Structure 1
Amino acid sequence: MVIKTQNMATSSVSLNWVPPATFTKKSNLPWPQSNELARAATFSLRNSVTCPKETTSNEENTCKRRLLLLGVGTVTAGLLPATSLLAEEIPQNYKAFVDIPDGYSYFYPSDWREFEFRGHDSAFKDRFLQLQNVRVRFLPTEKKDIHDLGPIEEVVYNLVNHVYAAPNQMANILDMKERTTDGKNYYTFEYELTSSNYASASFATLAIGNGRYYTLVVGALERRWRRVRDKLKVVADSFKVLDI
């Protein structure tokens, strides 16, 4: 699991059921319930990294940045409710990404790796197929609920045809649905974008909360869609807005 926290060094957990964590710029922690982690996250560093005393100011600043990115720690399991530590909460072959400061979470395939996607807050991609990926972005909004944008049919049509599709692409909306989780409403839809030499298919999930309009998109090349559709649908359906 990957958890993004503010002003916090990268941390990994040594719980029996948690698989070995790979170091990323985010923290690896057990799956929290909503904002429980924000109340319970007290870190005890198992390993310490120090800067040499004799350094220039530039070297010291560089060292401090490295400490923030490379610090290794653990979370005391007893600080989290027992129900938060149940491995079955995360589907097999998936990991959880939890962004506490920005108020959202989702599952992603466990063999995907994090990468930078311009204009997005978080993103993961297949290790071998870069166009098979998930990314999340958000924008400020004064609206309080996804229903404030309009009916799902109207919202999805406008997004797919006028935002997601390039001028040379043909858009095809395959499915759309609404869901309510923990009192928050979500729109999730499936669509295809086709041009003369390229075709892709994707799921997108929309939500509003915390004064933000969140969008998660997970997709792949159209020729692979039949094989990976169900796998990527888990990602789209797992997106949740957390209270911050």
Structure 2
Amino acid sequence: MAVSSLTLSFASTALTNRLYVRDSTSTALTSRRIIACSSNTSSDEAEGKCKRRTIAIGIGALSLNLFPARPLLAEGIPENYVAFVDKIDGYSYYYPSDWREFDFRGHDSAFKDRYLQLQNVRLSFIPTDKTDIHDLGPMEEVVLNLVRNVFSAPTQVDNIVDMQERTIDGRTYCTFEYILTSPNFSRAAFATIAIGNGRYYTLIVGANERRWRRVRNKLKVVADSFKVLDI
């Protein structure tokens, strides 16, 4: 059953705030899972700690009435990926279907490889009065500041490999590849930044540099899939 043809109807719209949808060809798929956050937020929830409810829904006779998520679903989820849609905080991205969710301090959402914990994706955001990433300054300087002063530790040497910009629905995204080298360890990653909804979003997906050649293309799909949703 193609994902784009799914339709889902619920009496309560509160259960559509966070949506996980697997690709249509995954043989491991046995359910659809929807996780909702309470609208009565507390100070802990402001840090991404919200009360969640999980519902498992069988594959048969699914009908989807999730209009904000439709444009993302209609594009077709790549094989062996899952679409994560957060309608409360206004963003979405794909992640590999064999990864699992975990708590990453200071981040709103995060998923990691079941066996290689350093192979993961996480997303965070901070408030901003800017409306576009170019309002932050020249992209070369913005990216260098992020990698050198935010992402890396004092003992790490940074190397920015590549930087790309794209515009989707009038919103600018910047994705860059970088490597952080420590005396005994190196990590490579992609990061994608964007601004919307009064928030400065940062998505990072990476792995141990020794595995980077094998997983780079797989993780690039995650970095390129990040989108800001209007809320």
The normalised TM-score by structure 2 is 0.76
1:21 aligns with 2:31: yes
Cα distance, 1:85 vs. partner? 9.1
141, 160, 171: which one aligns with 1:184: 171
Kindly indicate which of the two structures has a greater share of residues assigned to strand. Answer: 2
Please name the residue that 1:98 is paired with: 85
Q: Residue 227 of structure 1 corresponds to which residue in structure 2? A: 214
Q: Does 1:196 align with 2:169?
A: no
Partners of 1:153 and 1:6 in 2: how far apart?
A: 42
Return closer, same or farther for 1:73/1:230 CA change in 2, 3 Å cut-off: closer
Compute the displacement of 1:108 (Å). Answer: 0.3
Residue matched to 1:8? 15
Aligned to 1:238: 225
Unaligned runs of 5+ in 2: 4-11, 37-49
Aligned pairs (5 A) from 1:1-244: 8=15, 19-21=29-31, 26=35, 69-72=53-56, 77=63, 79=65, 89-244=76-231
Give the direction of change, closer, same or farther, for the CA distance of 1:153–1:119 in structure 2 (3 Å limit): same
The number of residues matched between the two structures is 200
| One-letter code aligned to 2:30 | P
In the TM superposition, residue 150 of structure 1 has moved relative to its aligned partner by 1.1
Q: What value does the CA root-mean-square deviation take over the aligned residues?
A: 3.2
Q: Distance in 2 between matches of 1:184 and 1:169?
A: 32
- Output the TM-score relative to the length of structure 1: 0.72
How far is the alpha carbon of 1:167 from its aligned partner?
0.6
Q: CA deviation at 1:21?
A: 2.9
Offset, 1:142: 0.5
Deviation at 1:239, TM superposition (A): 0.3
- 5+ unaligned residues in a row in structure 1: which ranges? 28-64
State the AA in 2 paired with 1:79: N
**Secondary structure of residue in 2 paired with 1:8:** helix
